[in-house]
């Protein structure tokens, strides 16, 4: 009898837990973001409703999840400086999660006539912000490649390094002469 009660309790707990929705998914590589190694460390998933914003730092394997999500409609989006990711409207009803693709500013689908996509959600990058990249990585290479830079490097070499080199060569000569003279002294 006690065992039966315990089992029944477990069953009720299970039902209760399974009634609470978990919104989850994974960021996957594509042509825009070619590898999960390129996933910026500061990438956050945000589940936004009128009442609150929930924040989840996306794991290194691209996974994210929000547990105990209540009934309602949400906007799911991803925040990082380097990429734009796809955005979703999420409708939660009991334990079920219905995600829909959306774009910034678009109203959520008022009718559920639109077909929802599969859950867990697969998220892809849609755009990379190149302008953030160029000033840092590009300019140094471009600078080094430019003829002006090469010329000035060459002149730096001429002005500073060559005299030192010849000086060095001269001192080498001097010490060699000294050594030679010492050798000749010893032999005499």
Ligand X SMILES: *[C@@H]1O[C@H](CO)[C@@H](O)[C@H](O)[C@H]1NC(C)=O
For residues 98 and 116, is the Cβ–Cβ distance under 8 A?
yes
Residues in region 64-123 near ligand X by CB under 6 A:
70-71, 93-94
Q: How far is the CB of 98 from ligand X (least distance, A)?
A: 9
CB of 87 to ligand X, least distance (A): 21
* CB closer to ligand X out of 71 and 139: 71
CB of 104 to ligand X, least distance (A): 24
Pairing, β 21-27 against β 121-123: parallel
CA distance 104 to 95: 27
Closer Cβ to ligand X, 71 or 177, answer by number:
71
By beta-carbon proximity to ligand X, the closer residue of 112 and 179 is 112
What is the rounded CA–CA span in Å between residue 87 and residue 23? 14
Residue 83 makes CB contacts below 8 A (sequence gap 6+) with 32, 33, 40, 43, 125, 126, 127, 128, 129
Of 12 and 132, which CB lies nearer to ligand X in the complex structure?
12
Query: How many residues touch ligand X (CB under 6 A)?
Result: 4
Q: Which residues 6+ apart lie within 8 Å of 73 measured at CB?
A: 49, 89, 90, 91, 92, 108
**Among residues 110 and 187, whose Cβ is nearest to ligand X?**
110
Residue 19 CB, nearest approach to ligand X (Å): 7
Q: What's the rounded Cα separation, in Å, for the pair 69 and 78?
A: 18
180 binds ligand X (CB under 6 A): no
Q: Which of residues 40-59 bind ligand X (CB under 6 A)?
A: none
**Three-point CA angle 115, 118, 120, nearest 5°:** 145
Please, what is the minimum distance in Å from the beta carbon of residue 120 to ligand X? 20
- Tokens found for residue 18: 């399974």
| Residues in touch with ligand X (CB under 6 A) | 70-71, 93-94
């Amino acid at each position: 009898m006690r065992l039966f009660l315990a089992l029944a309790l477990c069953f009720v707990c299970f039902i209760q837990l399974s009634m609470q929705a978990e919104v989850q998914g994974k960021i996957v590589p594509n042509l825009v973001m070619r590898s999960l190694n390129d996933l910026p460390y500061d990438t956050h998933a945000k589940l936004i409703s009128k009442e609150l914003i929930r924040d989840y730092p996306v794991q290194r394997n691209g996974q994210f999840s929000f547990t105990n999500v209540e009934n309602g409609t949400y906007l799911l989006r991803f925040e990082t400086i380097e990429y734009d990711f796809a955005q979703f409207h999420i409708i939660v009803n009991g334990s079920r999660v219905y995600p829909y693709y959306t774009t910034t500013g678009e109203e959520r689908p008022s009718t559920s006539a639109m077909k929802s996509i599969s859950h867990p959600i697969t998220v892809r990058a849609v755009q990379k912000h190149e302008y953030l990249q160029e000033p840092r990585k590009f300019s140094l290479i471009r600078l080094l490649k430019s003829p002006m830079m090469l010329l000035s490097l060459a002149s730096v070499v001429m002005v500073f390094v060559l005299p030192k080199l010849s000086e060095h060569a001269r001192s080498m000569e001097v010490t060699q002469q000294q050594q030679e003279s010492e050798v000749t002294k010893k032999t005499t």
